[in-house]
Amino acid sequence: MEKVIAVLEGDGIGPEIVRESLKALRAIEKKYGHRFTLTPAPFGAGAYFSEGSPFPEETKRICDESDVIIKGPVGLAVEQMSRIPPEHRPENGAILPLRKRYDTFANFRPVRLPKHLASFSPLKPEILGEGIDILMIRELVGGIYFGKKIEGRDADMRFSSDECTYTDEQIRRVAAVAFEEARKRSGRLTNVHKANVLATSRFWNQIVEEVASGFPDVAYRSMLVDNAAYQLVKDPSQFNGVMLLENMQGDILTDQAGGVIGSLGLMPSACIGTVKSYVEPAHGSAPDIAGRDIANPYSMIGSIALMLERCLNLAREASDVWNALFTVFEQGYTTADLSEGPNESRKLLSTSEFGDLVVEYIEKG
């Protein structure tokens, strides 16, 4: 297969974890005889300082001309961020515009922690049960993050508001994707909402239930978001299968899921769009540890696996990458951000050593 891939390495730990993920991609390319043309482009806070925009026109052109995009985390330390005008900060000036440009409505965030890695989690092993394997699917281009924002002032008060809107079509398409996934895994689907308070959630449930009627084979249930947050910590494996979440609730619960399995560094993601898709880790750029070769590259390498699987339809190649990632842990290695159990003595790896081992296991696998 021949593909053109834009590479936005981003800020902070971005360049170092993207570098490791590209090593894994090159190993796959070689093993299977593909041809991936990688085109780097500036994006994020660094791009604002060097190019005057966090999402420069030239980067847009490179992305438009690519088949798929690999994006690292973006953002710099607070002090530097405060020197960027709000509309040019990476959230509002780069990430949300990227999602909107390619209509990346379905965000896949797999949350996986096999039983034998239970020690990475802050939860007790008996709470983790047989292990965690949840596919969180977050709606990514609608809801409150994309609604009208007001910061106003009247004669006697100041106020602000964020509008939250969903159309039936926006809900239907992401729900359809989630039910298809649940059907493929013959798993249950948990729909998360706040319908006891929000009109958008009541509407969300109505449409999701219309879609559900076309999938009688999928075990469906819905749960209030506050209860889901509680249950995710008390008994996470009850969610094994698919969770469907709107944009903001999904943003919050996917971070919580990272905490449940031990680190946001274990949270890769794919953003599937109608125009184009891209992959990114679910976490930030960790400027405090940037450049020290200690960040865990799992989330970025896992994002490459998701790209192979979900954007390029290369299932075998993707499973090679997943297997290599889990083999690293099975062989008793760890990175600084992951805890080890009381009876373990794991060997500590740097970012680049982790990437080297992944390459080795891809080659052998």
Which of Mn ion, ligand IPM, none is residue 307 near (CB under 5 to 8 Å by kind)? none
Q: Smaller CB distance to ligand IPM: residue 23 or 71?
A: 71
Cβ proximity to ligand IPM: between 71 and 173 the closer is: 71
CB of 231 to ligand IPM, least distance (A): 21
CB 81, min distance to ligand IPM, A: 12
Structure tokens at 203: 């509407």
Work out how close the CB of 154 gets to ligand IPM at its nearest, in angstroms, rounded to a whole number.
Answer: 30
> According to CB under 5 A, which one of 20, 251, 280, 317 is a site residue for Mn ion?
251
Residue 178 CA to residue 191 CA, distance in Å, equals 9
Binding-site ranges for ligand IPM (CB under 6 A): 91, 95, 251, 282
Instruction: Give me the least distance between CB of 110 and ligand IPM, in Å please.
Output: 14
Of 11 and 320, CB closest to Mn ion: 11
Which partner in ligand IPM, Mn ion, none is near 91 (CB below 5 to 8 A by kind)? ligand IPM
Instruction: Kindly compute the dihedral angle of the four CA atoms of residues 223, 228, 232, 238, in this order, to the nearest 10 degrees.
Output: -10
**Which residue intervals of 153-246 are DSSP H helices?**
168-184, 199-212, 225-234
Least separation in angstroms between residue 97's CB and ligand IPM is: 11
Q: Give whichever of 15 and 97 is closer to ligand IPM, judged by the CB atom.
A: 97
Q: Which of 194, 220, 276, 361 is catalytic?
A: 194
**Which residue of the set 103, 133, 162, 255 is catalytic?**
255
Annotation marks residue 293 as catalytic: no
Known catalytic residue at 255: yes
The closest alpha carbon to 164, from 143, 181, 183, belongs to 143
Residue 251 among the catalytic residues: yes
Name the minimum Å distance from CB 311 to ligand IPM: 17
Cα 18 from chain centroid?
14
Cα–Cα distance list, 187 to 73, 136, 192, 218 (Å):
31, 13, 16, 7
Judged by beta carbon, residue 109 or residue 112, the one nearer Mn ion is 109
From 115, 149, 168, 226, the catalytic residue: 226
Establish whether 226 is a catalytic residue. yes
* Residue 114: alpha-carbon gap to chain centroid: 19
Nearest to residue 332, comparing CAs of 362, 300, 351, 354?
354
* 95 contact choice in ligand IPM, Mn ion, none (CB below 5 to 8 Å, kind-dependent): ligand IPM
Antiparallel, parallel or unpaired: β 68-71 and 278-279: parallel
> Which residue number, 11 or 251, has a Cβ lying nearer to ligand IPM?
251
Cα separation, 328 vs 314, whole angstroms? 22
List the single partner that 324 binds among Mn ion, ligand IPM, none, CB under 5 to 8 Å by kind. Answer: none
9 token code pair:
């390495």
Cα(23)–Cα(17) distance, rounded to whole angstroms?
10
Q: Which of 48, 102, 145, 298 is catalytic?
A: 145
Closest CA to 7 of 67, 54, 49: 67
Token output for 7: 């590479």
Q: Give the nearest residue (CB) to Mn ion.
A: 251
Residue 337 designated active-site: no
Alpha-helix runs per DSSP H in 185-287: 199-212, 225-234, 247-261
**β-bridge pairing 278-279 and 270-272:** antiparallel
Residues near Mn ion (CB under 5 A): 251
Residues designated catalytic: 145, 194, 226, 251, 255
